[in-house]
Amino acid sequence: MAAWEDGHWLSKDGLRLHYRDYPAAARSKRPAILCIPGLTRNARDFAAVADRLAGKYRVIVAELRGRGESERAKDPMSYVPATYLEDLTALIEQRALDRFILFGTSLGGILSMLITATHPAKVAGVLLNDIGPAIDPAGLVRIRGYVGRGGSYPTWLHAARSLAEVHRPAYPDYKLDQWLEMAKRLYRLTSAGRIVADYDNAIAEPFRVPGNESGGDLWPLAEALKPIPSLLIRGELSDILSAETADRMAAELPLLERVDLPRIGHAPTLFEPESEAAVDRLLARIAKAG
């Protein structure tokens, strides 16, 4: 497991936000990789990716407000893409990230598109994990059904079984040990000895308002990806990223490679062998492009 340092930055409204910083070798001139997790995810979601790439690359894994070790927002209506973009822009500026690669899962991919559109000269490449400019309504219904519902569990086994009940359609081949691994990425142990989701339940309040989950029509923003080496990883069973949306992205974005993973839904872990091979191809293309 690669070592990381805990870092913090301040949002415009004064929240203390957290990131993991996995260093590169001292002489590395490669652009940093900025990883942005999904709606209910935290820095642990990218641990396997960072472990594999750290040393060759500096890997920064941001935790959005209200997730993991980032401070909870006083106003739940700030849990929206526009504010997340503002927060991440502050991170980029405060840490003087002049050029970087974006890895974004789900909501993190939406934010990656927004960052690319607003900071095109800084972005060297983009990985979109099971997300595009259009979101399948079926997936939104499913997510609204569980996000922010609260609840706690007495053991990791109980937490894993609860995850399996909700997410088995996305991971039909998962065994108990894989559900336990997922539980330890998504949940935390409280001081009272209970296991709970590692995010502020209030993130669900604006998410349930139609339009706030994606920030509106993103097809115009996807135009910013045209000159940038990019990768789209899609779970074949995804109910968030439809095959039709992926088809259109592949047709309209000349530097985008598309990879579909069989028998996986929303979202791939990025440590599937096919995902790792695709990530390596993206990084090789970015290096070649300079």
Per-residue model confidence (pLDDT) at position 162: 95
Residue 211, pLDDT score:
56
pLDDT at position 113 is 97
Q: Measure the CA–CA gap between 258 and 232, rounded to whole angstroms.
A: 5
| pLDDT computed for residue 208 by the predictor | 67
- Please report the pLDDT score of residue 210 as a whole number: 63
Apex 87 CA angle, 49 and 129, nearest 5: 35
User: What is residue 76's predicted lDDT score, i.e. its pLDDT?
Assistant: 96
> Can you list the domains of the chain with their CATH numbers?
5-143+202-289 (3.40.50.1820), 149-198 (no CATH)
Distance CA 179, CA 166 (A): 11
Q: Decide: helix, strand or coil at residue 255.
A: coil
For position 141, what pLDDT does the model report?
86
Q: For residue range 128-154, list pLDDT tens digits in order.
A: 999 999 999 899 889 888 898 888 999
Residue 212 confidence (pLDDT) = 54
pLDDT number for residue 26 = 77
pTM (two decimals): 0.96
Q: At what angle do helices 107-118 and 81-94 cross, to 10 degrees?
A: 60
Cα distance between residue 175 and residue 164, in whole Å: 9
Residues lower than pLDDT 70 in the chain: 208, 210-216
